Structure 1
C-alpha cells in the first residue's frame, strides 16, 4: 500500500490511458486493457461523443480508476467537441462553429473565471454520469502556465490529486510555484510524468516503440511516476479521425506485450492507480 512513508522507497508506476470517451475505438481499447490488467487508470473526456459509453463502463465496474480529463481543445480536423456549459460566456472558449480550438494558444486570452466555470462543469458532469473521479488532469496540457494554479485549486476543492510534475519534460517555468501551492493546499501529484510519443519517425516500428518503453521502465526512479499513452483499436472510425492511428494501436499493444510485462516484474515495479493517491490525500486532509 502506498503511504507517505514508503513513497520514495520503491518505484511506483501509474500505467495510464488517456482520452477515455474520445471515440468508441478508444473506449474498447481502454476497457479491454483494464480488464486484462494492462493499465491501472484512465481519464474521461466528458465533452466527447462517446463519453456516456465510457462513464457507463465506470458505473458497471466500480473498481475502474477514472479521472476527469479537463478539456479545452479539440485537435482533430473533422471530429470535434466543445464546452459542457451552454452560455454566452462559454462561447469565449470556442471557434465560430462552437467547438474548442485545435490547440491551447488561445487560452491566455480567456477570462480565468470562464475557464474555471467550464472545468467545474466538466467535473460535475462526470459525477452526474456516475463517475467517482480519482484525479484531475488536462487534455494537451491546456491548463499549464497561465491557468496552472486553477488545476491545483480544483484538486484542493474536490480533494483530488492532479497530474503535475515539478520536473516535466517541457517546463512552463512556474513549476516551483505550482509545487509550493500544491504542498500548501495538500494536493498530491506524481514525482514524474512521462508521455509516450504521439507519432514515430519513419523506420521506428512497433519493436522500436516496445524497446523505448522497456528502456523507460528500466530507468524509473524511486517515487511515483505516471506513464501515459493513448491506446485505441484499429478501426475505420479511428482511421477517419486521425492518420496517427498506427501509433495508437502501438499504445494498445505495448502493455499487453509479454516482454514489457516481464520487465515490470523483473524490475520489481509497484503498479498503482490514481485511486491510491486520492485515498492517501484524503487521509492526510482528514488528519489536518
Structure 2
C-alpha cells in the first residue's frame, strides 16, 4: 500500500528546532494550532525541550526527533544526554556539543549510536509519540558519514520510524544511493524530495517579500510524490535576538506559512498535506 497515486503531490510542512528556545516553541505551537504545519522535529538536548515535549504529548502533535550533535550559537549552549566514560570528539571541555560539524567525523560509531538512542528514548520516556528521525545541521550526513547514517537507518528500522533522507537529489542534503538501498532493504520509508528554506536573505528592502516569493515558487514547482519542506520558525523576541543572528529569517518563516497567499497556492495546486505519521503508519503496516 502506498500514499496517493503517481501524480499526487503530497507535502509535509516540517518546522525544525522544536525545543531550542521559548520563542521557537511559541511559534511552532501556534503553527500547529492554526494547521499551518503538519510536523515538527524536537531537539531533545536543548534547554526548552521539556516544554516542547509536554506540548507534543498533550496535543499529540506530529513530532520527530531532531538528532543533535552540534551547539552552534556562541552564547547559548547544550550538550549530550549520554554520559561517556571516555573523551568523545563531539563534546568539548565544558560538556557542550561543538559549534560546527567537523569534530563529529572523528567519532566512533558506537558513541554516535549511544547518543542517538539516548535522545530517542528520552523523547519516548517523556510521552512523545515519535513520528520520524532527522538530523540537525546534517551532522551525521556530511563528509565520511556513511557509517553514522547506516546506524541511523538501523535505528529507524528498530523503532519503526521513517527518515529524512530524500530519494532524489535535494540540496543541501548529500545524496547516497547506497544508503537509500539500505533503507529500502530495512523497510525504512523515505520522502522523495526535501526542500530546505535558505537562511540567507538578499540585501534589499523587501526581505519578507523574498521569503513569500521563494515559498510560493517552491509550492508551484512541487513535484509528484512526497516532498518535505523544512524551515525554522520562531517568534521575534529579545530572547531570539540574543541567541542568533538568524532571528529575522526565523521570524519571517514563522509568518510565511500563515499567509493567505501561501494557503491559496496549496489549494490551487491540489497539494495534499500529510505528516510523518502517514509514512510511519505505512512503514509499520498500521
Cα distance, 1:221 vs. partner? 0.5
Paired residue for 2:137, among 140, 143, 146? 140
Counterpart residue number, 1:195: 196
Structure 2 matches for 1:148-227, cutoff 5 A? 148-166=149-167, 167-170=169-172, 172=174, 175-203=176-204, 205-227=207-229
Q: Which runs of 5+ in 1 are unaligned?
A: none
Q: TM-score w.r.t. structure 1 length?
A: 0.94
Counterpart residue number, 2:100: 103
Cα distance, 1:12 vs. partner? 0.2
| Residues paired across the two proteins, number | 280
Deviations 1:27-50 (A, max 9, x none): 000000000000000011010000
Rate the CA distance shift 1:5–1:87 in 2: closer, same or farther, 3 A: closer
Q: 2:88–2:107: 8 Å Cα contact kept in structure 1? A: no
Cα distance, 1:5 vs. partner? 6.0
Tell me whether 1:56 sits opposite 2:80 in the alignment: no
Cα distance, 1:8 vs. partner? 2.9
Q: Which runs of 5+ in 2 are unaligned?
A: none
- d(CA) in 2 for partners of 1:7 and 1:105? 41
- d(CA) in 1 for partners of 2:258 and 2:91? 38
Q: 1:26–1:231: 8 Å Cα contact kept in structure 2? A: yes
Cα distance, 1:92 vs. partner? 3.6
3-state SS in 2 of match to 1:134:
strand
Deviations 1:172-216 (A, max 9, x none): 35x100110011000001001110011312115101110110000
Rate the CA distance shift 1:121–1:184 in 2: closer, same or farther, 3 A: same
Counterpart residue number, 2:263: 261
3-state SS in 1 of match to 2:226:
strand
- d(CA) in 1 for partners of 2:263 and 2:228? 16
- d(CA) in 1 for partners of 2:192 and 2:138? 17
- d(CA) in 2 for partners of 1:268 and 1:114? 45
- d(CA) in 2 for partners of 1:69 and 1:232? 16
Q: 1:191–1:225: 8 Å Cα contact kept in structure 2? A: yes
Q: Please provide the CA RMSD for this pair.
A: 1.4
3-state SS in 1 of match to 2:130:
coil
Greater shift, 73-82 or 194-203, is seen at 194-203
Cα distance, 1:58 vs. partner? 1.2
- d(CA) in 2 for partners of 1:270 and 1:220? 11
Counterpart residue number, 1:35: 33
Paired residue for 1:243, among 239, 242, 245? 245
Q: TM-score w.r.t. structure 2 length?
A: 0.95
Tell me whether 1:13 sits opposite 2:11 in the alignment: yes
Counterpart residue number, 1:270: 272
Q: 1:20–1:42: 8 Å Cα contact kept in structure 2? A: yes
